Structure 1
């Protein structure tokens, strides 16, 4: 089912396995539900919130990656971890904002090498992830093969995968890993770090909470100005083991490789998701993400095609990839692509302007559907799908979309979502529109669907991901938050009052960085704006 284009969801109470129960060691939660009941926050506490501190950093330094919140081993000190486009990692005292330690990794990539003006440099752009069982943080940096300053040309651009001990920021032996080589599903396609960008937050596969031994990352185009094809990469957490698999989304025979590096060719179909993390179903060893538009509009799957049969052209698609928990090998398992994908291509309407959200399998199930996925596109359409049977292409009656549970459209360039378990509401926000709540209903087959319930009485920039908190799931304590580009940090009672979402007063933050979500600690909220980090909150509980 189509929801709408820039989707973010929040659904299920998730146990956050870190050294303190209020930590946030990754982008939200593994399934990207965005429902976080573990931060000691309730509406009654917000009246005492103040702006705790603001820290400003280097000129032209920005934070595309979300901060992380972590408690150091054998202490009760809450830390805030920042990673910037200048490849600088900092650890701050959450109480004062004081710098505890910083480390500059390789020199960042110079954007002009890729004919790009989105910032002077590109370094760390995807949100890192911390393995709470080992206190090791994993992240990708963009720079050059030799680690030295540029410009050095696009062909010398490189991505490296790092493992840093927290809180010392010392490098784990066996790292960094230089990402290179051909894709396993098309040896004619090579990983060339200068042409691509690692934007989505990382997923981690490990037994139980994580998924196996692998960290999973998605890549798309760096300004779409070069020959690139999106790629999903699995890297081992075992030192010196390195990359376990690289899977391109566009390969032969549907999209043969083009050898000209500098022209805007290649398969494209970037995994960018406006920075939203890769969704991980750690129980079933699989990840979900969405892809953007391709180079060509004539695809190999113009005829009806089942999703589980696979395809060589995974563009404008919601994708399910299996991750072997032992070997880290990737396997295409299922996909959905809407029947109007050619129209989306022609209008630059990326499906990958949002990631995929996996909803709570208990609350959001029924009629034979055991897991619901939500994604959206720039076209203002939200897709709600059966995560266990995405639907392929044109597999419904009369070559219609199959696998969709329902769809609905909203005007606007982007849309985000956040789903609350308490009263089974979903929250969505179209660009320059209101934050809306949609209530779960069942369709004629008893399957989950959504109906409009309420909206905010103010318009918002809505370029970012809503997130829902509650006080340990207690009824009446749920709050939906948005780090808004125009209104700054805003909060609303997540359960509507009639047809209105009631706003909760907060200290002003000013307009915030787009493509972010608020990050939470112990009764604290952290947001970024350009080269600044802002802390808002009350007394730690």
Structure 2
């Protein structure tokens, strides 16, 4: 072989230096560049190009019809000729050499590419997830309380890492946020459309922010709407039997509101106190989500009564007492009726478990149910779930029980199936055999909430419901035959699964034949389900490495259909921690808010019982002082 001539050596050396300079320039600028081999240049391209293409944002999420502004540049291009644009779908508008706007009318994942005009070998791409989700308008996403958003195309396990995902911004609020933030897509406000996030606080305030803007831009004319009348005040700690310590220094709006997207109305219950008489008042409010103003006939003072002999009542009438009834459960909207449930303040007698229904259009009271009309207690702590037939499923806590006796109407420590076609009527029920012992030890059967398992048409039990209890037991029941009461065992129901001796105060989640449960001061656990037997395996298939502070965690899940599932859970520690897990293996934590340096992703101080909201590539988290918004980092 003939040795290379000096000229050829210099030529090859120049090519190598040019390639090194190009790589160095791209790395320093943080841009993305797809390169061809500089020694084998394509026709019409620069052979020693140092050009690199950049494109921001590098990842994003939008709703159907929402515009995404994209900025691109060809770095080190002496001609300043800019870039050309291509997209795998959707539409690119307002296209310029360094700018374009993307929209799509179909949900899915799209790739947008900016290519240097001067060197077509240099390009950069961004991935955009487009969601068709119309809103998260009720607690844990739907009437079944599944906790699942299966229309999340922007968040993937590959992108939820400390390098790509984190805290985007925070919006200050005036009180603790127990209620789950609610999200609405493409809300029309005049000629503009906004994705909106609604936040309710214990200071009786409601905020409506643009869900995507880091300046916390309010969508209403004022930053917030406060629901305290001029002659009233927020109810302080001392006036509610010291129970407010669990709700913050005051008690205002605790139960998660519910939104009717057809009428653009948000429903909530607010607690206030008369400045002069000291009377505690609870009201149901209906607010226009476009303005924050009260709807006609709103608000209404909550008052109710049933016939009964509770607490040795000599009058035969049991009255709803606003001072004694804590409204912690989320509201539920079903078939044009808003249902509200109540527990108690610090188990202070007298109180009952109440469910009251109001016509969503007129706010007229249409149904009333008391689960211990001839006894005491039986508080309802979590929201009612509902099936497709319009039945409600509620869990009650400690108190009197005599439903197994002729004429008995007290249903403490029970799962109740309530028919709603004509008022509220118990159509089926279950009470554990050891109810008396559970009540004596304050181990409420209704420590958590009811979750309806998706129908199992080929399974032994097609219609199942899950109930979690403070005893640490997960009860699996046939919705078609709940089982009533057995004096010696719970053998009449499908299964009792011991999860954790510390107790369950949270609501589980069911996904892909697995239930996820977060017990008090314990890990998040996964138990596999067999549709053939209708039962769960007794040992967890995986669990998180972390224990969750009191009272445990209620998880939610995001996915794109059946893919890219992520399980989200809040640790109510101080400060709180937001976790993201691989649901197929909970020991694999994808990300948490304490990983990034310099406390970049640290949320506000944590609150128990809170649930995150996942929508449109973002995760919204209520805290004691602020709404924290997490999402894909733009660069």
Q: In which range does the TM-score fall when normalised by the shorter chain?
A: 0.7 to 0.9
After TM superposition, give the deviation of residue 359 of structure 1 in Å. 0.8
- Aligned counterpart, 1:199: 328
Measure, in 1, the Cα distance between the counterparts of 2:446 and 2:490: 21
Q: Which residue of 2 aligns with 1:280?
A: 386
Equivalent in the alignment of 1:504: 590
Classify the secondary structure of the residue corresponding to 1:505: strand
Aligned to 2:81: none
In the alignment, the residues of structure 2 paired with residue 354 and residue 318 of structure 1 have an alpha-carbon distance, to the nearest angstrom, of 11
In the alignment, does 2:429 pair up with 1:340? no
CA distance in 1, matches of 2:177, 2:571: 15
Q: Does the aligned pair in 1 maintain the 2:414–2:431 contact within 8 Å?
A: yes
Q: How many residues align?
A: 468
Distance 2:283 2:138 in 1: 19
* Equivalent of residue 410 in structure 1, options 500, 509, 513: 500
Structure 1 stretches lacking a partner, 5+ long: 1-14, 207-212, 256-266
Give the deviation of 1:278 after TM superposition. 1.9
- For normalisation by structure 1, the TM-score amounts to 0.81
Note the 1:332-411 alignment, pairs <5 A.
332-362=426-456, 366-367=459-460, 369-394=461-486, 400-411=490-501
Partner of 1:50: 166
Paired residues of 1:80 and 1:93 also in contact (CA < 8 A): yes
For 1:291, which of 381, 396, 417 is the aligned residue? 396
Equivalence for 2:93: none
> Aligned-pair distance for 1:539?
6.5
- Are positions 1:190 and 2:307 aligned together? no
Conserved in 2, the CA contact under 8 Å of 1:81 and 1:90?
Answer: yes
Gaps of 5+ in 2: 1-106, 108-130, 310-315, 595-601
Secondary structure in 2 matching 1:143: strand
SS across alignment from 2:547:
coil
| Alpha-carbon distance between aligned partners in 1 of 2:508 and 2:447, rounded to the nearest angstrom | 15
Identify the residue that residue 134 of structure 1 maps to in structure 2.
263
Instruction: State the partner residue of 1:112.
Output: 238
- Residue 300, structure 1, aligned to residue 365, structure 2: no
Does 1 or 2 have the higher relative contact order (CA < 8 Å, sep 6+)? 1
**1:344 CA drift (Å):** 0.8
- Residues 1:152 and 1:519: Cα distance change in structure 2 (over 3 Å): farther
SS of the equivalent of 1:65 reads coil
Per the alignment, residue 318 of structure 1 pairs with 415
Contact 1:126/1:200 (8 A) holds in 2: yes
| C-alpha distance in 2 between matches for 1:122 and 1:176 | 18
> What is the root-mean-square deviation in Å for CA atoms of aligned residues?
2.5
TM-score, structure 2 length as denominator?
0.69
From 535, 545, 554, give the equivalent of 1:457.
545
2:380 alignment partner, one of 262, 271, 276: 271
Q: What displacement does 1:505 show?
A: 1.8
Provide closer, same or farther for how the CA distance between residues 416 and 227 of structure 1 changes in structure 2, counting only shifts above 3 A. Answer: closer
Map Cα deviations across residues 322-374 of structure 1 (whole Å, 9 max, x no partner).
112xx6x11111111101111111111112220100010137x622x221111
- Asked if the contact 1:108–1:123 (Cα under 8 Å) also holds between the matched residues in 2, the reply is yes
- Once residues 497 and 180 of structure 2 are traced to their aligned partners in structure 1, the CA distance between those partners, rounded to angstroms, is 30
State how far apart, in whole Å, the 2-side matches of 1:435 and 1:159 are: 36
Question: Quick check: 2:132–2:151 contact (8 Å CA) kept in 1?
Answer: no
Matched residue, 1:27? 139
**CA offsets, 1:490-512, max 9 Å, x none?**
0110112xxx5310024433552
What's 1:244 paired with?
Answer: 366
Name the residue aligned to 1:260. none
Q: Assess, with a 3 A threshold, how the Cα gap between structure 1 residues 535 and 227 changes in structure 2: closer, same or farther.
A: same
CA contact (8 A) 2:253 2:270 kept: yes
Distance across 2 between alignment mates of 1:284 and 1:412: 35
Is 2:631 aligned against 1:537?
A: yes
Give 3-state SS (helix, strand or coil) of 2:542's partner. strand
In the alignment, is the contact (CA less than 8 A) between 2:338 and 2:360 conserved in 1? yes
Match of 1:220 in 2: 343
> For the structure 1 residues 151 and 457, does the alpha-carbon distance in structure 2 shift closer, same or farther, using more than 3 Å as the test?
farther
Q: Secondary structure at the match of 1:342?
A: helix
Q: CA deviation at 1:455?
A: 1.2
1:64 counterpart (178, 184, 191): 178
- What do the CA deviations read for 1:151-171 (whole angstroms, capped 9, x no partner)? 743xx2121111111120111
CA contact (8 A) 2:271 2:281 kept: yes
CA distance in 1, matches of 2:296, 2:507: 40
- Displacement, 1:20? 5.8
Q: Does 1:123 align with 2:123?
A: no
Distance 1:420 1:349, change over 3 A: closer
1:188 to partner: Cα distance? 0.9
Secondary structure in 1 aligned to 2:238?
Answer: helix
Aligned partner of residue 197 in structure 1, secondary structure: coil
Q: Take 1:504 and 1:35, find their aligned partners in 2: how far apart are those partners? A: 18
Corresponding residue to 2:581 among 489, 492, 508: 492
1:84 has 2:201 as partner? yes
Deviations 1:87-136 (A, max 9, x none): 11111122212333311112432332232242332111100000011111
Deviation at 1:27, TM superposition (A): 0.8
Using the TM superposition, give the Cα deviation of residue 319 of structure 1 relative to its aligned residue in structure 2, in angstroms: 1.1
Using the alignment, how far apart are the partners of 1:77 and 1:468 within structure 2?
24
Write the deviation string for residues 461-511 of structure 1: whole angstroms up to 9, x where unpaired: 26221111111222xx11111011136100110112xxx531002443355
1:99 and 2:218 are equivalent in the alignment: yes
What secondary structure does 1:113 align onto?
A: helix
Equivalent residue, structure 1, for 2:287:
164
Selected match of 2:302 from 156, 179, 183: 179
Question: Structure 1 pair 442/21, CA: closer, same or farther in 2 (3 Å)?
Answer: closer
Counterpart CA distance in 1 for 2:308 and 2:494 is: 28
CA distance, structure 2, for counterparts of residue 442 and residue 245 of structure 1: 36
The answer to whether the 8 Å contact 1:234/1:245 transfers is: yes
Deviation at 1:434, TM superposition (A): 1.6
In 2, distance between residues paired with 1:152 and 1:350? 34
**Which whole-Å CA distance do the structure 1 matches of 2:510 and 2:345 have between them?**
34
Is the Cα contact below 8 Å between 1:25 and 1:129 reproduced in 2? yes
